[in-house]
Amino acid sequence: MQLYIHIGTEKTGSSYLQSLAAINTQVLVDNGVYFPLGTKHDDYMLKGIVSYGNAQNLYEALKNNDFDSIIKILTTHKSAAIKIRCESILLSNELLLLLFSDSNLFYNFEKAVISSGFKNLNILLVLREPVEQVISLYKHRAKNGKMIEINNWVQNEFLYPKALKSFFEIIPSTNSNITIRKYKTEKGHLEKLFLLEWINIQVPTKKPQKIVNPSLSFSEILLLQEIRKYHPIWREKVYEQLISVAKNRKAENSNLDEYFIRTMSARLSPYFEIWQLYNKYLPSDESFEPHEPETFKDGYSMPKDCFIFSKNQMEVIIETMYESTHFLFRLKLDLVILKRKIGQLKKEVFSKLNYRA
């Protein structure tokens, strides 16, 4: 029995690949591959929405150093696969890399895989150009309006440089089959590397219909951050409206984009040696162009014209502002706030009761 685990990284099409597998489970079974479902994330994968994949329970168990649960999860999957005559199991969770970077956790996980009766552990890691990835991840995390200032975020919140360095150090001493590939946006590339080239089965014709990970412009991100200072719940409504505007109908702000790109590039410069390691493990035709580090300059400053919006963006912003003046709209927002406060109070009460018990 073979175990295949896709471990990210983030912003490399993981949700798309998980959705592709979820809507083609029978096709995979016909080719001897079992993609376990049965979690609360199934609906997200089937609809093409961002999800944790089908191995979140494995991630949680590994995070808690609970190898009894890991063996139970793996043996349960194995029994289910045997019943439907599958010789391979496919799992996916893009956060697993952050845990696999801990050598003790990784080696113990390998032992758990062997103890569960698997012949081989096969791992797929997809890498993306560092500056592109950090920008995409920053935009994704910024949608809640809680983002810290960009200079601090790269150093304190972007975990991949250290995680990748540690994982690369593990590779030479592992018996697992580790495949590392480059993320590309060209049509069909992800499906091909994921199924045809990694697992050796034909790519199904049925594809996820919905595009995941809606994109925000930097101007929109800054607007949401400002709105959140005054009304966090209203920010959610504005966010919903902004992501409804197609990317090609949003205004470009080259000065603001340049500020973020140069700032992130400079903040990533201490990890230059790690990025150079990418090409050591990637196929020769997928190597990254050498990325020379840029020295951070204190003179970098946010451009004055940071809020630039198109007609379509302004329409949804003004519409939301107009709706916010209505009594029923404001009442709904107040009810949401009240429900959240009650929910938080319940958690605090139950936490104290459990502590006393």
Domain ranges of the chain: 2-129+159-199
Tens digits of per-residue pLDDT, 2-27?
999 999 999 999 999 999 999 999 99
* Whether 17 contacts 34, CB under 8 Å: no
Whether the pLDDT of residue 356 is over 60: the answer is no
The DSSP secondary-structure symbol of 53 reads: T
Tens digits of per-residue pLDDT, 300-336?
678 888 899 999 999 999 988 887 777 776 677 677 6
- Reply yes or no on domain 2-129+159-199 having CATH 3.40.50: yes
Half-sphere exposure of 345 (CA within 13 A, CB side): 6
* Whether 187 contacts 265, CB under 8 Å: no
Q: How many Å apart are CA 124 and CA 199, to the nearest integer?
A: 10
Q: Provide the pLDDT for residue 294.
A: 61
Q: pTM for the complete prediction? A: 0.86
Which tokens go with 117? 């009766």
Burial of 83 from C-beta contacts in 10 A (0-12 / 13-18 / 19+): exposed
The band of 357, judged by pLDDT with boundaries at 50, 70 and 90, is very low
Q: Provide the pLDDT for residue 354.
A: 47
Tens digits of per-residue pLDDT, 234-289?
788 888 899 889 889 999 999 999 888 888 888 888 888 888 889 999 999 998 87
Q: Provide the pLDDT for residue 124.
A: 98
Per the DSSP assignment, residues forming a β-bridge with 125 are 180
Whether the pLDDT of residue 48 is over 90: the answer is no
Strands 120-127 and 88-92: unpaired
The beta-carbon contacts of 281-287 under 8 Å, at least 24 apart in sequence, are 281/168, 281/171, 281/180, 282/127, 282/180, 282/181, 282/182, 283/181, 283/182, 286/181, 286/182, 286/184, 287/182
* Whether 15 contacts 212, CB under 8 Å: yes
Q: Provide the pLDDT for residue 166.
A: 96
